[in-house]
Structure 1
């Protein structure tokens, strides 16, 4: 790749990523003003990511614009470390999300989830009292469970629905309990549970109780996390390929800048 082409490509790539970095920072600032504590907890990571993107892009842009060797070396080092971090995270994400899947339930279309099926990493986070307290408060605020009767007007529609893992695990008692469903959010708890599972004792019809303290709810969250991590991992594979191409172009720009500087010194 010629000197002009490589530096031109690097300049424009980093100019666009600088704009993206500003956008991520602005999004993080918007989240910090959000009243929902669940969104607010993500503020610092989002702003930090935006600042990192902005800093790296600025270094690469100035290095390519002025053919400054030091900045190009710093940019290459930062880009290389980011590639390594993405690769390590992606491999770990695929390993961690390898376990766990839904179990079919007779008479309904949705699946139920068992906590013990999932990765130790998920179990450690979900069984931590402080972490789960924060997650539970978020689940209660989303009001997903209380909206089920609005989505499903009768029991036939409810039982034929494909509930999300969180709806299946947090909004209802496990099927093994044997509680008859009155509607999509209310169960007849006067029946003696057919299972000794503690989830059967923990479930209540109250809006802020439901099965939020149940292992089935934690399993539903684990399945949701697994799905999200898989999406992120696939995105990271694509990002890794793109950044690898950018890295190769940056290497050409750095080499061409070095040659240009050498010619200038020889002419002097």
Structure 2
């Protein structure tokens, strides 16, 4: 690849990533304005990510613009580390999310989830008291469970609905408990549960309690995380391919810059 072409591509790629970094920083500032502590906790990681992308983009842009072999070397080393990190994370993500799936129940369109089906990593993270306390506070503040009675006016609608893993696991007791449903968010707990599942006694109709302490809720969160991680892993595969091409162009730009300097 010629000198002009490689440096041109690197300059424009890093100019675009600088604009992306600015957008990420703005998003981080937006998160900081939320009263929701769950969203606000993401502020610093998002801001740090935006700042990191911006700094690396400036190094790559200036290295290509000034044909500086030092800056381009720094850019390529950091980019290589990023590529290795993406590859390692993607492989681990596919391994961790390999286990776990929903269980169908007669008369219900949605699936229910069992915590024991998921990987040991998920079990360790979700059974950690401090981790679950933080996650549970976010679930309680969300409107997932409160919205069920508004979305589904009748029990027939509820049974034929495709509930999310969190709605199915955290907002109601497991179907094996046999509690009669009064509506989409209220169950007759005077009925003696027909199952020995400990979740049956943990469920309460209170909006602040529901089944947030249940293993079924943790399993719902595990299924949600599995789905999200799979999407991130697929995105990372695409990102890895794109960054690999950028890395190849960067190598060409560094080599051309070194040749340009040697001729001076």
Query: Is 1:168 matched up with 2:146?
Result: no
2:42 alignment partner in structure 1: 42
CA distance in 2, matches of 1:132, 1:230: 22
CA distance in 2, matches of 1:106, 1:38: 36
CA distance in 2, matches of 1:166, 1:214: 11
The number of equivalent residue pairs is 264
CA distance in 2, matches of 1:244, 1:5: 17
* SS at structure 1 position matched to 2:30: helix
CA deviation digits over 1:170-190, x for unaligned, max 9? 000001101011110011111
Query: Is 1:239 matched up with 2:236?
Result: no
Once the two structures are TM-superposed, the CA of residue 7 in structure 1 deviates from its matched residue by 0.1
CA distance in 2, matches of 1:147, 1:16: 40
1:142 alignment partner in structure 2: 142
Once the two structures are TM-superposed, the CA of residue 243 in structure 1 deviates from its matched residue by 0.1
* SS at structure 2 position matched to 1:91: helix
After superposition, where does 1:1-268 map in structure 2 within 5 Å? 1-264=1-264
CA distance in 2, matches of 1:155, 1:200: 20
Stretches (4+) displaced over 2 A:
none
Once the two structures are TM-superposed, the CA of residue 22 in structure 1 deviates from its matched residue by 1.2
Return the TM-score normalized by structure 1: 0.97
Once the two structures are TM-superposed, the CA of residue 106 in structure 1 deviates from its matched residue by 1.1
CA deviation digits over 1:85-112, x for unaligned, max 9? 0000000000000000000011110000
CA distance in 2, matches of 1:18, 1:207: 44
* SS at structure 2 position matched to 1:212: coil
CA distance in 1, matches of 2:146, 2:74: 53
Once the two structures are TM-superposed, the CA of residue 67 in structure 1 deviates from its matched residue by 0.5
Once the two structures are TM-superposed, the CA of residue 115 in structure 1 deviates from its matched residue by 0.3
CA deviation digits over 1:150-180, x for unaligned, max 9? 1011011110000000000000000110101
Unmatched 5+ stretches in structure 1: none
CA deviation digits over 1:10-56, x for unaligned, max 9? 00000010111111112112212211011011111111111111111
Once the two structures are TM-superposed, the CA of residue 84 in structure 1 deviates from its matched residue by 0.2
- Give me the CA root mean square deviation: 0.7
Once the two structures are TM-superposed, the CA of residue 240 in structure 1 deviates from its matched residue by 0.2
